[in-house]
Structure 1
Amino acid sequence: MTLTPTGRLFGTDRGTDLVITREFRAPVEDVWASLTEPDRTARWYGRWDGHAAPGRSVRLQMAFEDGQPWSELRIDACEPPRRLALSSQDEAGSWRWEVQLTPQGERTELRFVQHLDTVEGLGEIGPGWEYYLDRLLAAHHGTTMPSFDDYYPAMKTYFDQLSLSPR
């Protein structure tokens, strides 16, 4: 199957943002639950445990990565049901991302933003986020889960060649 990548890069005062959007046929509160309730995140990304609150950290097991690794996620901001900002640190570096939800009638637009320190490795990062956001859509709507093989390496060149979009 051939999928079209949707990621875009935007320059900011602090660096570069990778932005990927998706649209859900659901109210914003339902999409928020898919992002924040442990039993629902387990369906598309991984399960987490801990006391979730701004300034606190939770443990997340990435269920669909080799070895199902655990990582610690810091909750930098939580503004239900509109915005969730997270950060983590691992052997690949620091990760800062957020999800912004905008209600549009009976639909909700999800705007995923990864705040990048560098665009190095974007050919690996971008396809992964496209894959996980499509997993989120599939889990939310009860449809067939996508295969990572449809995303990588098929989308690598797109993300490697991505340049800044005008605001």
Structure 2
Amino acid sequence: MNPTARLLRGNSGDTGSRLVLTRTFRAPIDDVWASLTEPERTARWFGPWKGQAGTGNTIQVQMVHEDQTPWMDMHIDACEPPRRLACSSTDDHGVWRLEALLTESDGTTTLEFVQHLQGEENLGEIGPGWEYYLDMLVASRDGSPSPGFDDYFPAMKAYFEGLSAGPER
């Protein structure tokens, strides 16, 4: 497994950095959007959710691949089907501001998954997790075997630590 993430700094109205991971699917944008927003489909790669969807609402999301499969509150900051979903959550590790941006061209949909960072510490732990979850999304869509987390962490830790230590990549 090779990491794909880029670390971008500034230039988008943000004062912080953005961790950006990209995946491409030979599928219509509406189908990929459904993989990101329908609870029975998110359950296949991240975890199910419950509650009333919509901008400004808070839903509960279960993280089925984490220890003790915790539920967490996730606020829907923006929902612009089928192109943009922005969510945020706060836990013991801080504030998580996440965004999924979809574009389609010639039957191929590109997902840019963005984590807006408050700081660049802990990228060595955060980055491999997102690579894993997005590869779980790929596997859930194409029927390939689910990856094992051990292929991502600690194997990718140095790559992500290097991103925060170096210039924009």
Instruction: Report the TM-score range of the alignment, normalised by the length of the smaller protein.
Output: over 0.9
Q: Give how far 1:27 is off.
A: 0.6
Instruction: Report the Cα distance in structure 1 between the residues aligned to 2:143 and 2:108, rounded to whole angstroms.
Output: 16
The gaps in structure 2 that reach 5 residues or longer are none
Q: Give how far 1:120 is off.
A: 0.4
Of 4, 7, 11, the match for 2:5: 7
Contact 1:11 1:164 in 2 (8 A): no
Whether 1:95 and 2:96 are equivalent positions in the alignment is yes
Q: 1:150 to 1:89 in 2, by over 3 A?
A: same
Q: Give how far 1:90 is off.
A: 0.3
Give the strand-richer structure, 1 or 2.
1
Matched with 2:70 is 69
Instruction: Report the Cα distance in structure 1 between the residues aligned to 2:145 and 2:37, rounded to whole angstroms.
Output: 21
Matched with 2:147 is 146
Instruction: Report the Cα distance in structure 2 between the residues aligned to 1:43 and 1:128, rounded to whole angstroms.
Output: 16
Q: Give how far 1:14 is off.
A: 1.7
Matched position secondary structure for 2:59? strand
Matched position secondary structure for 2:130? helix
Per-residue CA distance 1:75-95 (angstroms, 9 max, x = gap): 000000000000000001100
The gaps in structure 1 that reach 5 residues or longer are none
Matched with 2:109 is 108
Matched with 1:42 is 43
Instruction: Report the Cα distance in structure 1 between the residues aligned to 2:36 and 2:7, rounded to whole angstroms.
Output: 23
Q: Give how far 1:165 is off.
A: 2.5
Q: 1:111 to 1:164 in 2, by over 3 A?
A: farther
Instruction: Report the Cα distance in structure 2 between the residues aligned to 1:50 and 1:125, rounded to whole angstroms.
Output: 26
Percent identity between the two aligned chains: 58
Instruction: Report the Cα distance in structure 2 between the residues aligned to 1:160 and 1:65, rounded to whole angstroms.
Output: 22
Instruction: Report the Cα distance in structure 2 between the residues aligned to 1:43 and 1:10, rounded to whole angstroms.
Output: 29
Matched position secondary structure for 2:43? helix
Q: TM-score normalised to the size of structure 2?
A: 0.95
Instruction: Report the Cα distance in structure 2 between the residues aligned to 1:153 and 1:51, rounded to whole angstroms.
Output: 37
Matched position secondary structure for 2:34? helix
Matched position secondary structure for 1:146? coil
How much is the aligned-residue C-alpha RMSD, in angstroms?
A: 0.9
Alignment coverage as a number of residue pairs: 164
Equivalent position amino acid for 1:16 in 2: S
Instruction: Report the Cα distance in structure 1 between the residues aligned to 2:168 and 2:84, rounded to whole angstroms.
Output: 23
Q: Give how far 1:160 is off.
A: 0.4
Q: Which runs of 4+ in 1 moved over 4 A?
A: none
Matched with 2:118 is 117
Whether 1:58 and 2:56 are equivalent positions in the alignment is no
